[in-house]
Amino acid sequence: MRAALALEDGTVVHGELFGSPHEAEGEVVFNTSHTGFQEALTDPSYRGQILIMTFPMQGNYGILPEVGESDRVQVEGFVVRYLHDGPTHPRAEITLDEFLQDHGVPGISGVDTRMLTRKIRTEGAMRGVLVPYEQGDRPSDEELLERVREVPHISEMDLVPQVSTRKKYRFSDGKPEIVVIDCGVKRSILRELAKRGAGVTVVPYNTQAQEIMNADPDGVVISNGPGDPKRVRETVETVRELIGQVPLMGICLGNQILGLAEGGNTFKLKFGHRGANQPVKDLDKGRVYITSQNHGFALDSDSLRDTPLRIRWVNVNDGTVEGVVHTDAPAFSVQFHPEAGPGPWDTKWVFDEFLAMCREH
């Protein structure tokens, strides 16, 4: 089968369908990582989005059982230049094509991903549709663009409830005791906490502060997740009540939620930060780290001036806020992903810093 990808600016490209013969719609974004397609596909922060990989070949090492960031494919659709349906990795269980088929997600290959990426960098992330079709039944451009106009904007979608756990569960035993507020948490975050001996309990995004405190945690992590942080009002209110009661660490969406909880504001980035090569400067240490990131919103630095949040990390490329430290309470947050998964391990020490804070308090 064939497939078409249409963007809201009128761009339409055609290629070969792989994965599932279903239609997909969402915000079209790109990721600049050279490896890690499985981690990207299963990252809950991609819910509501059609993902383009800028590295041309995808699928060459297949799907490995131990590297998924969740139990399912989270992207709405997948766009690649070349599909290698080997796989070549000795531990691979199935191919990329089979993986998407199993999860009902369509992919398109054989398209000019460089052109699409340059267009999104210039014009910003756009709504789009991915439509499979039989060779002799090609949809018209106007028909495709009409479908794009019906796609909601990412800020209009309530995505966190779709990816958060529905009930509390225990991930690991140990000390200190950490509660993770699941806004779409990546398994790599839970693994890094457990690897350091922490006992980890995961709770839904809308768990109230009192219920969390009743568990007597030594620390609380606000996780990553998809969409506009302003739509996660329940989590913002919970974090507002937790500040000062227990050590806090936010990651990605959790960084934005901590900022909103203390009166800051957020805004939508033009095309977001998605990839494993984002340079971040730690203003306290005077060092630059290469980080893994996946987000389309950011904290407004001006809005933090009259809050008890001090900017500690900034993005070297565009100067946006990459993390804050609370000046009156044991709390901090980072916009980047210290667990990587995939990506460089430069900032895994952030977990050590947080657990040391939990033990101290």
Instruction: Mark whether 337 is an active-site residue.
Output: yes
Name the 3-class secondary structure at 69. coil
Instruction: Mark whether 150 is an active-site residue.
Output: no
Calculate ∠ Cα 120-269-283, nearest 5°.
125
CB 78 within 8 A of CB 19: yes
Instruction: Mark whether 339 is an active-site residue.
Output: yes
Residue of 252, 295, 322, 326 marked active site: 252
Torsion of CA 70, 154, 229, 254, to 10 degrees: 30
What are the Cα distances from residue 5, in Å, to 48, 83, 89, 143?
Answer: 15, 16, 30, 12
Calculate ∠ Cα 2-157-319, nearest 5°.
95
Give start and end residues of each alpha helix (H) in 164-244. 187-195, 209-214, 233-242
Name the 3-class secondary structure at 269. strand
Structure tokens at 207: 């768990």
Among 151, 176, 108, residue whose Cα is nearest residue 7: 151
Residue of 69, 183, 339, 358 marked active site: 339
Give the β-pairing of 57-58 and 177-182. Answer: unpaired
Residue of 273, 295, 326, 337 marked active site: 337
Name the 3-class secondary structure at 253. helix
Mind telling me the catalytic residues?
252, 337, 339
